[in-house]
Amino acid sequence: MKRSSYLTLVVLVLPLIICIACTTQQPPIINSFTANPSSLSAGACSVLDWNVSGASTVNINPGVGTVPATSSTQVCPAGTLTYTLTANNAAGSGTRMVTVTVAPPPQVQKPNIVAGATIPQNRINFNQLFRLGIIVFNTGDVPAQNAHLYCKANPGGLITVQGVDQPTTPLAPSGVNVDLGDISPGSQRNVNLYLKAPTQAALDGLNGQNFEISFAADYDGGAQSPVGSITFSVGQGMMMMTPSGFSQ
């Protein structure tokens, strides 16, 4: 064969060989992609495990990124999450998904203390003895043990607590700590406070000003939570009471 003919044959056949080699490459194969365990409780972790053949790049999203073709990694999703593995090469790509199901945390059952106020009259005279009713409810799921109502009179002590129809201990500088005992779910405690308005002389120069008695509650020795307040407005010859913040 002449040299020129040989070279012509090489030139014609070589692209064909290259083309055949190109057409034989296949898209990557995802042999497996699993999560173990696939169901878990809040705060727990799962292991993603995968095996991919023929890929130039492999990515897992969200939150993992580029990974080797065969490996595993730990994930700790805050909630149910679907992970997608994507494998690529020059011939194409493939994807597979796996879901890690996260069970919500169990609902914590606890008491819930709210209060309401009953005011027989919203106008009181100076130096008048009057009654204030406070109703404490437990709207929670379990008993509120060793519950207390705190009646915190105005710092100046202008309104004084004369009596309470429940066991109490005094609060400084003025007010009372009312012992409510245990309150079952859906139950209530009624507290009657007998208060005395200040004299007109004690309010001299305070006309038009406001002050309040605030109420808080706790149970099981926990932190006190505000449950409402009553504002007193000083007027000519009388005082007005306005409740606020009560839930009931």
Name the CA radius of gyration of the chain, rounded: 38
What string of pLDDT tens digits covers the 248 residues of the chain? 555 555 454 445 455 455 544 557 899 999 999 999 999 998 899 999 999 999 999 999 999 999 999 999 999 999 999 999 999 999 999 999 999 999 988 888 889 999 988 887 778 888 888 888 999 999 999 999 999 999 887 656 677 788 888 888 888 777 889 999 999 999 999 999 888 888 888 777 777 777 788 899 999 988 999 999 888 887 766 677 778 877 75
Residue 236's pLDDT is 65
Instruction: Report yes or no on whether pTM surpasses 0.75.
Output: no
Residue 201's pLDDT is 82
Checking 206-209 for CB contacts under 8 A at 24+ apart, the result is 206/234, 207/234, 207/235, 207/236, 208/233, 208/234, 208/235, 209/233, 209/234
Three-class SS state of 5: helix
> Does residue 228 contact residue 246 with C-beta atoms inside 8 Å?
yes
Residue 118's pLDDT is 84
Residue 221's pLDDT is 86
Residue 10's pLDDT is 45
Handedness of CA 219, 222, 228, 229 (dihedral sign): positive
Checking 205-209 for CB contacts under 8 A at 24+ apart, the result is 206/234, 207/234, 207/235, 207/236, 208/233, 208/234, 208/235, 209/233, 209/234
CATH 2.60.40.1510 fits 113-244, yes or no: yes
Domain boundaries 27-103, corresponding CATH code: 2.60.40.10
Q: List where CATH 2.60.40.10 sits in the chain.
A: 27-103
Please identify which residue in the block is written with the tokens 């005082």: 239
Find, among 163, 172, 178, the residue nearest to 216 by Cα.
178
Q: List where CATH 2.60.40.1510 sits in the chain.
A: 113-244
